[in-house]
């Protein structure tokens, strides 16, 4: 990774400026151009160095809800079931685990009651039981690793 890419990632780790032109503000702080910042972020996302770049919203504070869900999916059906699960707009992300519950995903809904409906529809479409693992307590852990 280029040193300028590392510098950009480190600079953005603590927050993103909330201004009319945030990329220009970042560029000014790093002594480069707005176009350079946008191009670097695009390249880092395309290469998979960054997997996500965007805001994190607290669904509950916005009147919605989210939950962690898990399923036991037969290995020979895993890809097909993942495609079904990922087709639901309520599913934020999905990942495989080396466990009896081998598929885990986050479900978010605009309203608290939307979670149960989404999980029920996923179960119906896949023919598999969906385990709902709602958050019981919230912790804030900020981990910053230099790029």
- The whole-number mean pLDDT for each consecutive block of 10 residues of the chain, a chain of 147 residues, reads 89 87 96 96 91 76 88 97 94 91 93 89 98 85 66
Q: How far is CA 88 from CA 9, 93, 102, 115, in A?
A: 31, 10, 19, 12
Residues in contact with 10: Cβ distance below 8 Å, sequence separation at least 6, in sequence order: 146, 147
pLDDT value at position 70? 98
pLDDT value at position 62? 80
pLDDT value at position 147? 58
pLDDT value at position 36? 96
pLDDT value at position 146? 67
pLDDT value at position 4? 92
Q: 138: how many CB neighbours lie within 10 A of its CB?
A: 7
pLDDT value at position 69? 97
φ, ψ for residue 106, nearest 5 deg: -100, 135
How far apart are the C-alpha atoms of 147 and 112, rounded to whole Å? 37
How far apart are the C-alpha atoms of 15 and 11, rounded to whole Å? 8
Q: How far is CA 89 from CA 92, 93, 135, in A?
A: 8, 10, 20
Provide the 3-class DSSP secondary structure of residue 58. Answer: coil
pLDDT value at position 143? 65
């Amino acid at each position: 990774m280029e040193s300028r890419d590392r510098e950009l990632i480190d600079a953005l780790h603590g927050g993103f400026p909330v201004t009319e032109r945030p990329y220009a503000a970042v560029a000014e702080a790093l002594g480069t151009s707005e176009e350079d910042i946008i191009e670097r972020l695009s390249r880092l996302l395309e290469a998979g160095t960054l997997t996500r770049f965007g805001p994190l919203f607290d669904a509950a504070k916005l009147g919605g809800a989210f939950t962690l869900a898990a399923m036991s999916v037969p290995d020979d059906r895993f890809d097909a079931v993942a495609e079904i699960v990922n087709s639901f707009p309520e599913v934020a992300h999905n990942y495989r685990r080396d466990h009896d519950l081998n598929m885990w995903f986050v479900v978010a809904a605009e309203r608290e009651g939307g979670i149960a409906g989404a999980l029920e529809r996923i179960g119906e479409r896949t023919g598999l039981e969906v385990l709902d693992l709602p958050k019981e307590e919230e912790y804030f852990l900020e981990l910053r690793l230099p790029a």
